[in-house]
Amino acid sequence: MSNLQPLIVYSSGPAPNPYKVAFVLEELGLPWKFESIPMSDLKKEPYTNLNPNGRVPTLADPNKDIIIWESGAIVDYLIEEYDQDAKLHYTTLKEKNATRSWQYFQVSGQGPYFGQLGWFEQHHAEKIPSAIERYTNEVKRVIDVVDGHLAKNGTDFLVGDKVTYADLMLIPYFKAVGKGSLMAKDVDTSQWVHYTAWMKRLHDRPAVAKVAKTYDDIWEQILAGQEADKNKD
C-alpha cells in the first residue's frame, strides 16, 4: 500500500457526494487527496474532459491509469481493486447482493431526493412550499426506511454486523439534515432511535471520524457565514 500514489478525488467544496468516496478510501487505508474544483467550473472544460456530466466526484487512480465518475461506480471500483481482505464488503452471494440494494438505494433513492430538498430550500429562485414539503416528506421517509430496517433486523449495520461500503455511502447526505444541519432544520432526527444509534456507531470509527471532521468544518463555516449574512440585514 505504501508504494501507491495518492488516488485523486475531484470534489467541490462542501458537495456531499465526494465524501462518500473519501469514507471508503480512508477505511481502506489508501493514500488519497481531494482536488477541489469551483462549482462554476464543473460544467466546462477541462473538467468535462474527465467527466462529461460535469459533477463530482470523479476518481483518478494514477496507479492503474483509470478515470471513473459516478460515486457508486467509484466505490465499486475501489472495493474490487483494493478491498482484497473484504473489510467493507461480503463475498457470500446473498450479502454481497443485499449490500448492492442499499448502495443503489443511496444513489437513487436518498441522494437525489435530499439534493432536491437542498435545492428548493437554499438555491431555487423562489420559495415553493409544496416542493419543500414533498422533499422534506421524502427525507423523513428515507430515514424511516433505514431506521425500520435496522430495528427489524437488530443488526449493527445495514447488512449484518459488519460495516459495508453501503453504510458509508449513506453518511454524507444523512449528516446534512436535521437540527443544527443545513437542511430540514425542523426535523428532529433523534426520534429515529435505531438510525441515530447507527450514525453514532459509524462516527465512532476513526476513519469515518477523520473524514467527517473535514466535512463538518466546511459546513460549519458555511452556516456561520449564513448567520453573519442574516445579522447584517
Partner 1 sequence: MTTFPSKPIRVLFLLEELGLNYEIKSFRFDDVKKKPFIDVNPNGRVPAIEDPNTGIVLWESGAIYQYVIEQYDIYHRFSYETSKERHACNQWLHFQMSGQGPYYGQCSWFMHLHKEQLPSAIDRYTAEVKRIIGVLEGVLAARESQWLVGDKMTFADMAFMPWNFRLSEVLKKSWDEVWEGAPHVRAWHESMANLPSWQRLMVTRDRIMEEQKLQWNGVPKGIETFNDYENQIAANDAAEGR
Say if CB 72 and CB 107 are below 8 A apart. Answer: yes
- Angle separating helix axes 165-175 and 71-82, nearest 10 degrees: 150
| Of residues 18-77, those binding partner 1 (CB under 8 A) | 52-55, 66, 68-73, 76-77
CB closer to partner 1 out of 48 and 214: 48
Residue 182's contacts (CB-CB under 8 Å, 6 or more residues apart) are: 118, 122, 176, 219, 222, 223
Dig out the grid coordinates for 58 from the structure. 470523479
- Whole-number CA gyration radius for the chain: 18
- Among the residue ranges 27-35, 118-126, 181-189, 196-204, the one whose residues contact partner 1 (CB under 8 A): 118-126
Query: Judging by beta carbons within 10 Å of its beta carbon (0-12, 13-18, 19+), is residue 203 exposed, middle or buried?
Result: middle
Residue 124's contacts (CB-CB under 8 Å, 6 or more residues apart) are: 131
CB closer to partner 1 out of 69 and 207: 69
Residues near partner 1 (CB under 8 A), total: 42
CB closer to partner 1 out of 167 and 207: 167
Quote the least distance from Cβ 28 to partner 1, whole Å: 17
Cα dihedral 77, 83, 89, 91, rounded to 10, equals 100
| Of residues 132-171, those binding partner 1 (CB under 8 A) | 134, 145, 148-149, 152
In this chain, which of 92, 101, 190, 221 binds partner 1, going by CB under 8 A? 101
In the stretch 175-204, what mask flags binding to partner 1 with x, by CB under 8 A? Answer: ------------------------------
CB closer to partner 1 out of 69 and 219: 69
CB closer to partner 1 out of 94 and 232: 94
178, 173, 175: which is closest to 200 by C-alpha? 175
CB closer to partner 1 out of 45 and 233: 45
Whole-Å CA distances, 72 to 5, 17, 59: 22, 10, 11
Positions touching partner 1 (CB under 8 A) are 52-55, 66, 68-73, 76-77, 93-94, 97-98, 100-101, 103-105, 107-109, 111-113, 116, 119-120, 124-126, 128, 130-131, 134, 145, 148-149, 152
